[in-house]
Copies of this chain bind each other. A is one copy, B any other.
Amino acid sequence: MAVYTDVTAEDLSAHLSRYDIGELLSFKGIAEGVENSNFLLHATAGTFILTLYEKRVDPADLPFFVGLMEHLAARGLTCPQPVKMRSGETLGELAGRPAAIVTFLEGMWIRRPQVHHCAAVGKALAELHLAGEGFAIRRPNALSVPGWRPLYERARDRADTVANGLAATIAGELDHCERNWPKNLPAGVIHADLFNDNVFFLQNRLSGLIDFYFACNDILAYDLAICLNAWCFSPDYEFDFAKGSAMIAAYQAVRLLSHAEKAALPLLARGSALRFLLTRLVDWLNVPPGAVVTPKDPLEYLKKLRFHQKVGSPTEYGLA
């Protein structure tokens, strides 16, 4: 649930006068996003999302995020499209925060994805990777391999309170990833957080991708590995071969994986599992007193990591 900043009708109406989207009809703070305040707006020109960027977001990153959505939408990807002010700018200020208005995407996220959902995500991910080409601004991935050890160090002393031997497991995996992480795979703009709740479907058709606030430049196949982890495990965390092969096949129908990318997939999947294990573990160990948001279970990603550690060949993910 995320409405950290109070916005008045009076201030928002005045803010909208900078845009060509007509009069404000209504706005509601919505329980979406964790880092920012989001409002659903009805204006005479349609429905929009207003985002106020809160202090957890570095203002220096905003041109990347907003520019990327503009870049992707211009290339036909169905993602929120930033609305320009009459001045031509997409980033404004409201209630003392940087603010952007983007188009609203109809659709709902799917709690229990089926094989065809996973295929749709694979296709959309490859389209995103192609659409990202030529985007001028760069943003390194703060949560790639060099970012993992500091997370581990924050969690190390208390990791074993969550699961016996967890600190040692992470330490070993971290060493393995640091030593073996691939250096020369195709890279570009990745979403880096394409979980269920960031993909909308309408009548079983993918209707849009949202939440580009982890997007960055990194290995493209690493993004696919994140999606395999996020979408292709059963509720009891067994890898679902049908989902994995459907996702990979749909991805490759749009963008073929190179031999090197295929060979790296098990390692990228391990790294991706480790990344979410680490961030969830740190969140789990640092729940602020009185928090209303239940942190996500880090052990889900320990189980996924253990699966990937045993994978001998990328064909085990369904690679044809």
Q: CB within 8 Å of B: which residues of A?
A: 1, 3, 8-10, 12-13, 23-32, 40, 42, 47, 104-112, 200-203, 289-292
**CA of A231 to CA of B159, assembled, Å:** 54
Contact across chains for A31 and B9 when beta carbons are under 8 A apart: no
A200 CB → nearest B CB, Å = 8
A106 with B26, Cβ < 8 A, contacts A1-B1, A292-B292 known: yes
Contact across chains for B32 and A28 when beta carbons are under 8 A apart: yes
Chosen A-B contacts, 17 in total, with CB atoms closer than 8 Å, are A1-B3, A3-B31, A9-B108, A9-B109, A12-B108, A23-B203, A24-B108, A25-B107, A26-B105, A26-B200, A27-B108, A28-B32, A29-B32, A42-B47, A42-B106, A290-B292, A292-B292
Kindly report which residue of chain B lies nearest to residue A110, judged by CB atoms: B9
Contacts of A201 in B (CB 8 A): 9
Contacts of A27 in B (CB 8 A): 108
Q: Lowest 7 CB-CB distances: which A-B pairs, in order?
A: A290-B290, A9-B108, A29-B31, A25-B106, A28-B30, A8-B111, A3-B31
A35 CB → nearest B CB, Å = 16
Contact across chains for B31 and A107 when beta carbons are under 8 A apart: no
Contact across chains for A28 and B25 when beta carbons are under 8 A apart: no
Contacts of A200 in B (CB 8 A): 26
**CA of A30 to CA of B9, assembled, Å:** 16
A65 CB → nearest B CB, Å = 20
A284 CB → nearest B CB, Å = 17
Contacts of A111 in B (CB 8 A): 8-10
**CA of A291 to CA of B26, assembled, Å:** 28
A253 CB → nearest B CB, Å = 26
**CA of A24 to CA of B204, assembled, Å:** 12
**CA of A291 to CA of B29, assembled, Å:** 18
A53 CB → nearest B CB, Å = 18
Contacts of A104 in B (CB 8 A): 26
